[in-house]
Amino acid sequence: MIYLADGERQEVHLSHYSMQQQAKTLAAHLQQRFQPGDRAVLLFGEGIDIIPAFFGVLYAGMVAVPLIPPRPGQPIDDLVSLMTDAQPSVLLTTTGLSGFLQPLLARDATPPIINIETLDSLENFPWQRPAITSGSLASLLYTSGSTSTPRGVMMTHGHLLHRLAGYAALMERIGSAGMTLNWLPIQHLMGLVASVLQPMYAGIQTVVLPTSKVIEQPLRWLQAMSRFRANSSASPNFALQMCLDRIQPEDRQGLDLSAWQHAFLSSEAIRSETLDQFAQAYAAVGFQRQAYCTVYGLSEGSGTFDLHSQTVRPVMLNVAADALEHGHIVIVPPGQGRVLVGSGQPMSGQEIIIVNPETRQVVQGTQVGEIWIRGPQVADGYWRQPEATAQTFQARLDSGAGPYLRSGDSGFFQDQDLYITGRLKEMLIIHGKNFYAVDLELAAENAHPALLPASSAAFSISVEGEEQLVLIHEIRPENAAIDIAEVASLVRRRIGEHFFLPVHSVVLVEAGSVPRTETGKIRRAYARTLFLAELEAASLRA
């Protein structure tokens, strides 16, 4: 493994042998003080120190709980809440976070803290292989919190191995080998799998970049892809959009992306416009449109993988927008309606069905429903949340068949491919009609060139007993002096023309103001909370 500490040239190398030795040293120490099944919070900044720590916890038979420390100046309340939920017996960290940990040390419930950088000075205990099974809990991976409060997903050793075996079989089938590159946070499942677990399972070398360095300058991602001739890398849709918005054409010169065979896309809604524009912009430096490989998955359970040959990827479908509002799929010619990007076919061993969430009956053909999943990759449930676990992980059809994982996503199958239409929690019901937030946001951003793509939040609020639409949208930094009223008027007009829907409020904000998760997902529910809080504050001031 190669870690680029500065995102560019400062290389730190970690071999599998070195990682294993560090992990066993830590595990042996943990076994002297803690019991199998105890939780260990992994609190690390950006870097690869977390990797031997993660495996050290597993080698000790304990449960790894990777968490992301707040940024400088941010409150620690969310972190404290997650730690309280996890009930850890120990907190693992490094010297670099010692100052940050002082507020935590002042709290009564803070567990013992171990600095893994001091392990060499500890007594050399022998490591004992733990008595774990496929059903033993391996990790609590907290959800991103894009639609609700983060929850700890209980991943057993068996779940992780089933996922890795499934991914490895698929990678072999589509011909992926060589080197992979990742910059997503290792504390979340997508980054953990892409950076650590899958490359080690498959024996593939990997390059890791700090998330903050890529967000700061996305060119670093593409430069590393070019320099190391990496043939696979995963990202959310917004990362491609960053490369379009913030990398100038002259800065693309010198890149060579011809080795990039698999550009995995997941984690958030995939926009056909972004795929088209990125492929066109980077074709001159070797990027091939056929490299796109769309994936549908959840922290709670794996889903689908694009199994198509590279001659047809990505698969897209044009559907009538008005029919979609009523839960029906009507295919229209290219250039018309809404373009949906296929998310591939179910992974081996996975059963995916489309269900009417109200009747709990399977829907067929041209109907949209909730995506339900069953298979060995599905997690056990949410940590210490039996009601949420029963509701999400133990769903049954009206016939009694089950249990299934309720994804909370809506979609449908067409020619064996799964298409995602949106999140049920983010579907807005206004004036008796259904609207997907992502559709409203996409229409709004096309109202004026000053509006940043993929940088808005659409939600509804209750006004005198009726649901009304609110749109918050970021403005490009170079357009900060535009006429706000004019842009807002154009947004209202476009939404009215496309959806026959009035807009209660259009809020234009600086770039970077719309709340996101650590993996870049728009936090629409939190944006709504902030908007309502501002309304209340304004009312109090009045």
Largest CA distance in the chain: 72
> Is 204:228 a contact under the CB 8 Å cutoff?
no
Band (pLDDT 50/70/90 cuts) for residue 106 is low
Distances (CA, A) of 98 to 94, 309, 404: 7, 50, 43
> Is 159:377 a contact under the CB 8 Å cutoff?
yes
User: According to the model, what pLDDT value does residue 538 have?
Assistant: 59
Phi, psi of 229 (to 5 degrees): 55, 40
Residue after which a domain boundary falls, among 375, 405, 423: 423
24-58 confidence digits (pLDDT tens): 999 999 999 999 999 999 999 999 999 999 999 99
Of 91 and 143, the structure prediction assigns the larger pLDDT to 91
> Is 103:77 a contact under the CB 8 Å cutoff?
no
As beta bridge partners, residue 304 has 296, 346
Residue after which a domain boundary falls, among 361, 391, 423: 423
Task: Clarify whether residues 442 and 409 are in a common domain.
Answer: no
Of 96-105, 132-141, 160-169, 433-442, least confident by mean pLDDT is 96-105
Q: Which residues contact 20 (CB under 8 A, 6 or more apart)?
A: 55
Task: Clarify whether residues 525 and 501 are in a common domain.
Answer: yes
Domain that holds residue 537: 431-541
Name the residue type at position 320: A
Q: Is residue 180 part of a domain?
A: no
User: According to the model, what pLDDT value does residue 76 have?
Assistant: 83
Q: What is the count of structural domains for the chain?
A: 3
The answer, yes or no, to whether residue 526 has pLDDT greater than 80, is yes
282-337 confidence digits (pLDDT tens): 999 999 999 999 888 888 987 667 655 555 678 999 999 889 988 999 999 999 99
52-78 confidence digits (pLDDT tens): 999 999 999 999 999 998 877 777 888
- pTM of this prediction? 0.86
Task: Clarify whether residues 352 and 498 are in a common domain.
Answer: no
What is the 3-state composition of the chain as percent helix, strand, coil, each rounded to the nearest 5? 35, 25, 35
> Whole-number mean pLDDT of the chain?
89
Task: Clarify whether residues 393 and 287 are in a common domain.
Answer: yes
- DSSP string covering 84-105: HHH--SEEEE-GGGTTTTHHHH
349-378 confidence digits (pLDDT tens): 889 999 999 999 999 878 999 999 999 989
Of 88-92, 164-168, 173-177, 431-435, least confident by mean pLDDT is 173-177
136-174 confidence digits (pLDDT tens): 999 999 987 766 678 999 999 999 998 888 878 777 766
Q: Which residues contact 387 (CB under 8 A, 6 or more apart)?
A: none
208-257 confidence digits (pLDDT tens): 999 999 999 999 999 999 999 999 999 999 899 999 999 999 999 999 99
User: According to the model, what pLDDT value does residue 541 have?
Assistant: 46
Whole-angstrom Cα distance, residue 518 to residue 299? 14
Q: What is the CATH number of the domain that holds 479?
A: 3.30.300.30
The answer, yes or no, to whether residue 456 has pLDDT greater than 50, is yes
The answer, yes or no, to whether residue 542 has pLDDT greater than 80, is no
Q: Compute and round to an integer the Cα radius of gyration of the chain.
A: 24
Of 172-176, 275-279, 522-526, least confident by mean pLDDT is 172-176
Band (pLDDT 50/70/90 cuts) for residue 475 is very high
Label residue 400 left, alpha or beta by phi (over 0 means left) and psi (-120 to 50 means alpha): left
> Is 373:301 a contact under the CB 8 Å cutoff?
yes
Q: Is residue 18 part of a domain?
A: yes
The answer, yes or no, to whether residue 469 has pLDDT greater than 60, is yes
Task: Clarify whether residues 378 and 277 are in a common domain.
Answer: yes
Task: Clarify whether residues 88 and 22 are in a common domain.
Answer: yes
Task: Clarify whether residues 352 and 460 are in a common domain.
Answer: no
Task: Clarify whether residues 67 and 216 are in a common domain.
Answer: no
Strands 90-93 and 39-43: parallel
Mean pLDDT in residue range 195-201: 87
Task: Clarify whether residues 441 and 534 are in a common domain.
Answer: yes
81: Cα within 13 Å, side-chain hemisphere: 11
Task: Clarify whether residues 382 and 506 are in a common domain.
Answer: no
User: According to the model, what pLDDT value does residue 80 have?
Assistant: 87
Residue after which a domain boundary falls, among 423, 457, 479: 423
Task: Clarify whether residues 365 and 326 are in a common domain.
Answer: yes
The answer, yes or no, to whether residue 272 has pLDDT greater than 60, is yes
Task: Clarify whether residues 399 and 439 are in a common domain.
Answer: no
Of 272 and 105, the structure prediction assigns the larger pLDDT to 272
